[in-house]
Amino acid sequence: MTLQQLRQMKQQGRTITVLTAWDYAIARLIDAAGVDLILIGDSLAMVALGHRTTLPITLDEMIHHAKAVCRGVERSLLVCDLPFMSYQESIQQALHTAGRVLKETNVQAVKLEGGHPAAVETVAHLVQAGIPVMAHIGLTPQSVHRLGYRQQGKTPEAAERLVQEAIALEAAGAFSIVLEHIPADLALQITQKLTIPTIGIGAGPYCDGQVLVTADLLGLSERQPPFSKRYADLQGIVTQAIQTYCTEVKEGKFPL
Ligand code: KIV
């Protein structure tokens, strides 16, 4: 899967599937299932490392997980999140961080949060340096202490601001944009205005693609957002398997 193919999918009206991954085992399964794009999202700070927010994860930790994910992927497009405060200080810091991610892993692109002028300028500089960038606006979890986990873009002014941010990010060269937790009609408006694919999460059905945090989809996360969907209860299946193993060992039924 290439960036060009992703853009063609929007042009052809084919819906894009995106899931997050945090290690080799889960990446192999997601890739083999035919998901178009795999995101090494900084949500792994919460679902794989047990942090309460995405803020504590470091660049070295993201690169460590991205390397593992890349080893499991043959087909999907790979994008890695830039973690909190690894790109906000300066353009130089963002170039250094994104450069490290592309040099040290096999991902094809990076993702960063925000649509304010400084974020747009950062996207433009990364793209000029040859680094493909996926943007992310609406609810941006790295700003949790300012925004909370509330839906964004609810007032006409806030909605218009998000439309303008999306247009500016496309003009800066972003190849795609994640729209998180915004009203469905606003996501539709943005999707219709942009030529790059929009990927929604909690943004209704009218985006060019959808993304979920895989731990939520599989029923592995402790808490999940209201807009997520649990397609399996792996927590239940794993617990049952472990309890059965313990019982069989204690009762001498395993090993035979
Ligand atoms: O970190 C993440 O998993 C994300 C998705 C929610 C888009 O950014």
Q: In the chain, where are the structural domains located?
A: 3-250
CB of 178 within 6 A of ligand 1: the answer is yes
- How remote is the CA of residue 213 from the centroid of ligand 1, in Å? 6
Please name the CATH architecture into which domain 3-250 falls.
Alpha-Beta Barrel (3.20)
Where residue 223 falls among pLDDT bands split at 50, 70, 90?
A: confident
CB of 16 within 6 A of ligand 1: the answer is no
> Would the annotation count 113 as a binding residue?
yes
Closest approach atom of ligand 1 to CA 20 = 3
> What is the rounded average pLDDT of the residues 1-26?
98
Catalytic residues: 180
CB of 113 within 6 A of ligand 1: the answer is no
- How remote is the CA of residue 214 from the centroid of ligand 1, in Å? 10
Q: What pLDDT shows up at residue 86?
A: 98
- Tell me which residue of 108, 226, 209, 112 sits closest to 169, measured CA to CA: 112
- How remote is the CA of residue 254 from the centroid of ligand 1, in Å? 41
Average confidence score pLDDT of the chain: 98
> What is the rounded average pLDDT of the residues 176-204?
98
Q: What pLDDT shows up at residue 155?
A: 98
> What is the rounded average pLDDT of the residues 75-86?
98
CB of 176 within 6 A of ligand 1: the answer is no
> What is the rounded average pLDDT of the residues 216-226?
94
> Would the annotation count 81 as a binding residue?
yes
CB of 42 within 6 A of ligand 1: the answer is yes
The residue whose CA is least distant from atom 6 of ligand 1 is 213
Most ligand 1 atoms within 8 A of CB, residue of 211, 214, 221 to mutate: 211
> What is the rounded average pLDDT of the residues 154-158?
98
- Tell me which residue of 2, 1, 44, 3 sits closest to 20, measured CA to CA: 44
Q: What pLDDT shows up at residue 47?
A: 97
- How remote is the CA of residue 8 from the centroid of ligand 1, in Å? 23
pLDDT digits over 55-70, tens only? Answer: 999 999 999 999 999 9
CB of 57 within 6 A of ligand 1: the answer is no
